[in-house]
Amino acid sequence: MKSIILLLTALFFSTSSIAQQFIDQAEIEFEVNTNLKKTMSNNSWDEKMKDNLSELKTSYYTYTFAENKSIYKFARWSEKTRIPKYEKDEDEENIWYFDFDTKTMSVQKQIANTNFVISDSIANIEWKITNENREIAGYNCRKAVGKILDDVYVFAFYTDDITISGGPCSVNGLPGMILGLTIPRLYTSFIATKVNLKVNNTVEIKPISSKKTYHSNELKMLLTEKTKDWFGYGVDEDEKKRQKNIFLWNAFL
């Protein structure tokens, strides 16, 4: 009887030791789904286009991290995705680099067929952690509610088994890695499909080089000025405001 108790005790501590092995480098694949039709306007041109679009825009991104630095970028499209080429070009060009030690970021976003590089401090996100849990990609995750870009609410599930404080795009700041994320006002969700603990090429985790870079506020002022006459054709003021907000939220996500 004594030997059985000792064996069970040894197994318990062995299992606990394995469970507490924190991950400080990995490659994570995310499936990203956007209901593109709901982001579009209700003017006559967009209404005609909707008939030729797939219900969801589905793509896959890779989040690679090591030494408290990360890079998140496009990997491939789902075969079911049927959208215009310009929509694909924008997503394929976007890259997010974060250095959590220096609290700085380097982000490339394609906006209106032009690549802009943002070099700035990592934005502080307000989070409220809840008691709700779910499993994602084999990891126990806890739910948190955050607010980004002043007034856009996001719903995240993070695991503290993966130590980096990161997540898809520019969403970060929780005590662990975000493996599930929903942004209702952008009709978009992100879900980790697999976590590969072997990182093949850490050399790719580096800042984006560019001759011209912008601070976030500087680029926001530029885009606001350049697009002040956009989004108005054939829609009311509320829809015009919604379209402009969606444009700016996507630009700085």
What residue ranges define each of the domains in the chain, with the CATH number in brackets?
21-252 (2.50.20)
pLDDT at residue 44 is higher than 90: no
Buried b or exposed e, range 67-88, using 16+ CB within 10 angstroms? ebbbbbbbeebeeebebeeeee
Quickly state the pLDDT bin for 62 (edges 50, 70, 90): very high
158 near 167, Cβ under 8 Å? yes
pTM for the model stands at 0.89
Q: What angle (nearest 5°) sits at the alpha carbon of residue 101, between those of residues 107 and 30?
A: 50
Q: What's the rounded mean pLDDT across residues 36-60?
A: 81
230 near 247, Cβ under 8 Å? yes
Q: CB 64: neighbour CB atoms within 10 A?
A: 20
Of the candidates 128, 80, 99, 79, the one whose C-alpha atom is nearest the C-alpha of residue 207 is: 99
SS3 content of the chain, % helix, strand, coil (to 5): 30, 40, 35
Of the candidates 112, 107, 126, 66, the one whose C-alpha atom is nearest the C-alpha of residue 210 is: 107
Residue recorded with tokens 């606001």: 224
**Strand 95-99 and strand 57-66: pairing?**
unpaired
The confidence score (pLDDT) of residue 184 equals 97
In the sheet that holds 57-66, the strands lie side by side as 114-121, 104-111, 95-99, 69-77, 57-66, 25-34, 188-196, 177-183, 152-159, 139-148, 126-136
pLDDT in tens, 199-225: 887 888 999 999 999 999 999 999 989
- Furthest CA-CA distance within the chain: 81
In the structure encoding, which two tokens stand for residue 233, read together? 């054709």
pLDDT in tens, 78-136: 999 988 888 888 899 999 999 999 999 999 999 988 999 999 999 999 999 999 999 99
